Chain A
C-alpha cells in the first residue's frame, strides 16, 4: 500500500473521529493535519501549518465583512422590509412569491460566497414567509439549504471558482452567465419540486408591514453602485471595504442599532465557517507537503475517461464533506485539466457547483446543519434526506453542462433574461390555491 494512501487514511480517519466526537470541524481538520505531518516524518511543522492557515485569508475577509453587512441590514430592518414588500406585492401569486423568495435566500450567498451566510441571514428571514406559504419545516429547511448553496455558487462572488482559477492562472472573468445558467434554473426547480404542491396564497392582512421607507434600501443600492463601479473599473475598493461601507451606511438609513455590537455578533456567528477555512488551509498544506494531494490528484487523473464523469460527479461533492473550498482546491483543478477540450469557463462553473454541494454532505454539511437550526428541526438528516433528490438532479445537470460546455458557452446573455423573464411572467399568471380557512 502506498505511504501517501496510508497518510490519507490517517488524516481522514482522525478528522471523522474528532468530528464524530463533536469537536468543532475546524479543530478536527487541524488535528488531522498535525497527525498527517507527524506520520509522514515532517514532525510538527508549525511554520508550515501557520502558513497554510493563511491560505484563504482573502476569502475569510470577504466572508467576515459580508457577514457584518448582512447583520447590519438585518438590524436596520432592510431585509425584513424587503421580504415583506415582496410578500405583500405577491401574496396572491404564490408561485411567483416562491420564486422570488428563492432568489431572496440566494442573495446573501451571491454576495458573500458563503452558504452559511445565506442560511443565517436571508434564509432565516425568508422562513416565516415560506411557512405562511404552507410549507412544513423540512420542506422549508430543504429549500433554504439548497437555495443557499445555489446562492454561494451564483455570481458575483463564487469562491470555489476563484480557488480553481488560482490553480490554473485563470482570471475570475466571464463567469456571470455560465453561473447564472447553472444556478438559477436549478434553484427554481428545487423550490418548486419541494414546495410546488403545497403552497397557497397568503392573506394580505397576515403579512407585517416593513419598518422603513425607501431610505432603508440605501445600503443595498450603495452596494450595487459600488459593485458596478468595480465591474466598470472606475473605483476598486475591494469587496471587504465595499461591505464595510455599506454596513456603515445601514446605521443611518433604517432602525438605529449598535454597529460595534452587531459586528461582534456577526463575527461570532461566522467564526465557525471562518475557522473551517483556517483548518482547511492547514489540511491542504499538509496534504500537499506529504504528497497526499499528489496521490489524490494522480488517482483521479489516471482514471479512464469513460468513468471520469462518474468520479467527478461523486468525488467532488463527497470531498466537500471536508470542505467545499477544499474540494475545489484539491479536485477542481485536476478535473478541469482533464476537461480542457471543453469550454474552461463553463467547466469550471459546473465544477464549482459540484464543490458547493459539499455543503450538504455530512459531517460538515454547513448549509444543511444551519438550515435545520433556522427552521427548528432537531435532526439535520431529515433536511438532508429531503434535499437528496435536488442534489442528485444538480449532479446530473452539472455532468451535462461539462459534456456540452461549448454549447452552454455559446448561449447569448440576452437569452438568459428572456427565458427567466418569460418563466416569471408565466408564474405571475398562476393564482394558486386559496389559503386554508382558519377555524
Chain B
C-alpha cells in the first residue's frame, strides 16, 4: 500500500502553531499558580473563601483567609486586598498585616487576594508585566503576580452588552467581571458575584465591626489618595484623614455616593452592620500617561510623563522626582489602617481591636519594602 506523506508545508505550519500556542500558553498557566504567603506569628488560623460559600471550592476564585486572633476579646476588623489585583499596594498592605501583625485584642481577618480569578491573568492592551519581585531581609526573592482589574474571562465569559448588577446599577458589560461593582453579590450568580457574596458572608457571619477595602488609582483619576466612607463611618474617616494630614500624608475624604451601587463602601454598609472604608493610593502604574510599563515602575513609581503632567498641573495628587514607590503606597495604607483602629478604639472601648508589630510610616515609606515581608 502506498504511504502518503504529510505535506511538509502543512506540517511546518502545525509545528509553528503548536510552538506559538505552547509558549504563551505555559506562561498563562504559570500565572494561575498562587504565590507563597508566609504567615507571621500573629496568624492563629487559616481558612478559605469557600468556607463562606462552598460553591467556590475548587474554583480559581477560592482564596486564603487569615485570622489573627488576640488573647483578649474585642471587635473584629476585615481587611480585603486584591479586589483589583492590578493594584499592587492593594494586596501587599494586607499581606504585611498577615506576615507581621499580631492581634493583642480582638480579631483581624485578612483576605489578601479577594479576587482569585482576576489575579490569574493580566489585562490585554495594558502591557503589564506578569509579576514583580521584592527581596526580603534574608536576601530571598519574593515573587508576586500582577493581575487584572477584572475576573479572568476563562472563568466568566462572555460579557453582556450592559451589566445590571444586583442593585439595578447599569454598567458597561465588562464591569460584570469587576468585583468592586458586584456587591452585595449573589450566591448563585456569576463567579464575580459569588466572590462578592462570600465576602459579604464573612462580614455578616464574623460580625466584622470594621471592613477595609485596599485599592490604588491613577494619579489623574478623580478619587485618589482618598478615603471613601459610608455615611455611618464618615465621622471616623474624617478623624483618620485629619491624623494622616498631621503626618503630612495627603488625603481627601469622600462620602460613598448613595446612587453608585455595587461598590464595597456602599453595599458593605447597606447590607451589614460593619463600618466600611475604602482606601485609594495614587499609583502611576495604573494610569494612561505612564511610560515604560515594567516591574521597576510598579516598585519605584517614577515616571517621566507623570512628572511632566504634574508640572503642567494635570494631576490630582502631588508628584515629584521621588515618584510614588510601592513602599510609600503600602505605608500610606498601613498607616491609615492603624489610624482607623486607633480612632475606633477611642469610641468603642469595649470592642477595641489592638494590633501590634506593624511597621510605622517612616520606617517603611521610601525604604526596601521586602524588609517587612517574611
Contacts and interface: CB of A to CB of B under 8 A. Distances in A.
B127 A165 contact: no
A295 B24 contact: no
Contacts of A333: 288
Contacts of B293: 288-291
Nearest to A173: B170
Given A172-B161, A173-B162, A294 B124 contact: no
B23 A52 contact: no
Contacts of A230: 161
Interface in B25-49: 27-28
Interface stretch (A142-150, A231-239, A405-413, A420-428): A231-239
Given A51-B24, A172-B161, A233-B164, A285 B127 contact: yes
Contact of A51 (B122, B174, B309): B122
B289 interface: yes
A46 B24 contact: yes
A287 B171 CA distance: 28
A169 B292 CA distance: 23
A2 B304 CA distance: 10
Taking chain B's interface residues, is the majority helix, strand, or loop, or is none over half, making it mixed? loop
Secondary structure type dominating chain A contacts: helix
Interface string B158-199: 111110100000111111000000000000000000000000
A295 B124 contact: no
Interface residues on A, range: 35 or more
Contacts of A286: 127
B312 A47 contact: no
A301 B170 contact: no
B130 interface: yes
Contacts of B304: 2
Interface in A2-16: 2, 4
A288 B162 contact: no
Contacts of B220: 337
Contacts of B161: 172, 230, 236, 238-239
Interface range on chain B: under 10, 10 to 19, 20 to 34, or 35 or more? 35 or more
A290 B174 CA distance: 26
Contacts of B28: 47
B15 interface: no
Nearest to B220: A337
A289 B24 contact: no
A334 B162 contact: no
Interface in A227-272: 230, 233, 236, 238-240
A434 B173 CA distance: 52
B271 interface: no
B72 interface: no
A294 B174 CA distance: 24
A289 B162 CA distance: 29
A360 B27 CA distance: 39
B360 interface: no
A55 B127 CA distance: 11
Contact of B314 (A40, A295, A301): A301
A218 B362 CA distance: 71
Q: Which of B23, B130, B172 has the most CB of A within 10 A?
A: B172
Given A171-B171, A172-B172, A233-B164, A302 B27 contact: no
A162 interface: yes
A48 B220 CA distance: 26
B305 A298 contact: yes
B288 A167 contact: yes
Which of B23, B24, B292 has the largest number of chain A CB atoms within 10 A? B292
Contacts of A236: 160-162
A295 B162 CA distance: 32
A294 B288 contact: yes
Interface in A111-163: 162
A295 B125 contact: no
Interface string B272-300: 00000000000000001111111000000
Nearest to B222: A340
A295 to B, nearest CB: 7
B290 A294 contact: yes
Contacts of A288: 125-127, 293
Task: With a 10 A CB-CB cut-off, give which of A47, A173, A334 has the most chain B CB atoms.
Answer: A47
10 residue pairs, one from A and one from B, having the closest CB atoms? A289-B127, A291-B291, A288-B127, A298-B305, A55-B124, A291-B292, A47-B24, A171-B172, A55-B125, A47-B27
Given A162-B172, A281-B124, A337-B220, 6 more contacts: A53-B124, A169-B175, A285-B124, A289-B293, A294-B291, A295-B305
21 contacts: A2-B304, A47-B28, A50-B20, A169-B172, A169-B175, A172-B173, A173-B162, A230-B161, A233-B162, A239-B161, A240-B158, A287-B127, A289-B293, A291-B293, A294-B288, A294-B290, A294-B291, A294-B303, A297-B288, A298-B289, A302-B309
